[in-house]
Amino acid sequence: MPDSIRVQKILWETDDVFTLTLDMSSHKNPSGFKFAPGQFNMVYAFGIGESAISISSDPAQTGTLRHTIQRIGVVTDALSQLRRGDVVGIRGPFGTGWPMDTLKGRDILIVAGGIGLAPLRSVIYHVLRHRSDFGRLIILYGARTPLNLLFRVELEQWSKQPGVEVLTTVDKGDSTWKGNISVVTKLLGSAKLNLENTIALVCGPELMMKYGAVDIERHGVKSGQIFLSMERNMKCGVGLCGHCQFGPLFVCKDGPVFPYTRVRDFLEKKEL
């Protein structure tokens, strides 16, 4: 059964993406809602349905929980109409998170596209909170247009932190946009990577991840050092219903974070 949780705040990031902040202060776990960066919850709009949504909060802030959601279907549309004080259902956290232990002492290359920055924001918060445990942080982020860039204020703040490099790009600029216009993986050429010591975390549309991982490898990062966060329609979230099956894998249970080497062959298969 989902836990009933109150909405504390809704913030519209773009015209179709919003962040729900939930009040976890009365959560059944007295030490707060704990999750690993990369995990997701099943978020229930009562009377409408459930949707698997990645957690985009700071893992250290257990009193609130944030989900950044793109409004693209019936459930997410219902969630977008919630107001402060409304109640949602939460089941989770589910799935595998990003390999935070593997990241220790390493340079971290984050390659994100569109809403894909949301599941990686928890990693960024964690790394910045424990700065001395990690090497350089390089964030490459792409979106459709300048108006679709998420977390612009935070991106600016992160770029000012020591040892952090942030590069952004859009697929379509306009005459006023003075930033990069290209696919996000083209930014790899501008990032100065220490190849041996770099772990790459990739999240975004599947096409972007498929070609992005190839490009990251082409730039010299070994395939064993690349991790992707996959996405599929989910129903149960616990590996029983089969809706999220991806080859022999269940995205909800075996993922959503996978080593690239584990999913590379499946990314090539049509209609999988």
Which residues contact another protein (rule: CB under 8 A)? 16, 51-52, 70, 72-73, 75-76, 113-115, 143-144, 148, 169, 171-175, 177-183, 186, 189-190, 204-205, 207-208, 211, 233
- Six-digit token pair at 202? 């990739």
H helix intervals, the chain:
74-80, 100-103, 117-129, 152-159, 206-218, 260-268
* Cβ proximity to another protein, 72 vs 272, nearer residue: 72
Q: How far is the CB of 17 from another protein (least distance, A)?
A: 10
User: Largest alpha-carbon pair distance within the chain?
Assistant: 53
Q: Least distance to another protein from the beta carbon of 126, Å?
A: 26
Least distance to another protein, CB of residue 18, Å: 13
Tell me the β-bridge partners of 179: none
Least distance in angstroms from the C-beta of 91 to another protein: 15
In the complex, minimum distance from the CB of residue 29 to another protein, in angstroms, rounded to a whole number = 27
Instruction: Output 182 or 197, the one with its CB closest to another protein.
Output: 182
Give the orientation angle of helix 206-218 with respect to helix 260-268, to 10 degrees.
120
Question: Strand ranges (DSSP E) for 152-242?
Answer: 164-170, 180-181, 198-203, 226-229
CB of 30 or CB of 189, closer to another protein: 189
Nearer to another protein, 105 or 205 (CB): 205
Residue 210 · residue 258 · CB < 8 Å: no
Nearer to another protein, 52 or 138 (CB): 52
Angle subtended by helix axes 152-159 and 117-129, to nearest 10: 30
Q: Between 171 and 217, whose beta carbon lies closer to another protein?
A: 171
Min separation Cβ 209 and another protein, Å? 10
User: What are the distances in angstroms from CA 256 to CA 6, 49, 73, 193?
Assistant: 26, 21, 20, 26
